[in-house]
Structure formats: C-alpha cells, structure tokens
C-alpha cells in the first residue's frame, strides 16, 4: 500500500483571493481539529489544527502547498426566532442561552436548530417563529470556538427543569 502524502492545513485565513476550491459542510461537520477532508472539487487534504474549532463560513483553509480551500456553510433546517421588539428578542435569547442551545444571534432575529419542544416554549413566550433552511453560524460560547460543540461536560451547579 502506498502512502501518498496529503496536503496539510494547519492555519486559517480570513482574507484571500482565488481559492483553489470550496468545502461545503453543515455546522456539526465544521467543528473540527484533525480530520481528512475532501473539497467539493475533489481536492483531498488533512486538516490538522492546534485545537478543535468551528470553521466559519468564509474561512480559508491554507494548505501547506499554498492553495486555499474556502469553507462554505451548508444550509440546514433551522428555526428563525423573532421578538415583538428588541427587549423581547433579548428575553428570548436569554431563554435559549439558559438551555445551552447553539444560536446564531443577529440584530433582529436568532437562528436555532429545529426542535419542536423549544419551538413550543418560544411560541408560548410570544416569539414569532418560522422554519428556514440557511447556513448556521452560531456564537462561539463562553469558552470560545474550541468548546462550541453541542455538549459540554462540567457541573455548573444548577439544573434545568
């Protein structure tokens, strides 16, 4: 068996010109540290970052051969949450955060993964909800991108009833 060395990505770029390709991934698949990846045009490479992080839409994966692969966020089934006014939206954001849900926070809306239980709770709080399919780029969280995964493993001294 021959072992052909793959190009390796150890750094990211936010500004670049003329990417050699794109890689389209949902939010879960964009939370990575070390994994073999294949760009949409077939370019295979090894992602080897110092720590796990959420690859953001528009990030450039800088390969050691000089090529750059642009990250594209794949549209996902989401819920768009809107409030009556900015104060109401802030209160809804607090409820979402209190449940440790990944959320993309924008000036006039919040995007979360589809979940009928959470949707019912938010509707009960007066939110306007719409099912959408869009790229999902949630906030990094209190621990930054390295811990932006969907589950965390620490005891924070309170329960969610």
Structure tokens at 51: 């720590």
Q: Are residues 18 and 65 in the same domain?
A: yes
What is the C-alpha to C-alpha distance for residues 125 and 115, in angstroms, rounded to an integer? Answer: 15
Confidence at 23, pLDDT banded by 50, 70, 90: very high
Domain-embedded: residue 102:
yes
Domain-embedded: residue 34:
yes
Q: Considering the domain boundaries, does residue 130 fall inside one?
A: yes
pTM equals 0.76
Q: Domain range holding 139?
A: 75-147
User: Does some domain include residue 155?
Assistant: no
pLDDT, tens only, 107-158: 999 999 999 999 999 999 999 999 999 999 998 765 554 433 433 333 334 4
| 83 and 50 together in one domain | no
- On whether both 86 and 54 belong to a single domain, the answer is no
């Amino acid at each position: 068996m021959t072992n052909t060395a793959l190009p390796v990505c150890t750094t990211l770029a936010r500004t670049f010109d003329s990417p050699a390709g794109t890689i389209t991934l949902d939010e879960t698949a964009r939370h990575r540290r070390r994994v073999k990846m294949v760009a949409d045009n077939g370019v295979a490479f090894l992602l080897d970052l110092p720590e796990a992080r959420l690859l953001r839409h528009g990030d450039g994966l800088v390969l050691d051969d000089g090529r750059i692969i642009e990250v594209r966020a794949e549209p996902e089934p989401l819920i768009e949450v809107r409030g009556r006014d900015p104060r109401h939206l802030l209160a809804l954001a607090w409820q979402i955060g209190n449940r440790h849900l990944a959320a993309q926070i924008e000036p006039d809306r919040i995007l979360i993964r589809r979940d009928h239980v959470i949707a019912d709770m938010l509707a009960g709080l007066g939110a306007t909800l719409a099912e959408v399919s869009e790229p999902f780029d949630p906030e990094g969280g209190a621990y930054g991108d390295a811990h932006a995964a969907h589950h965390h493993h620490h005891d924070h001294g309170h329960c969610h009833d």
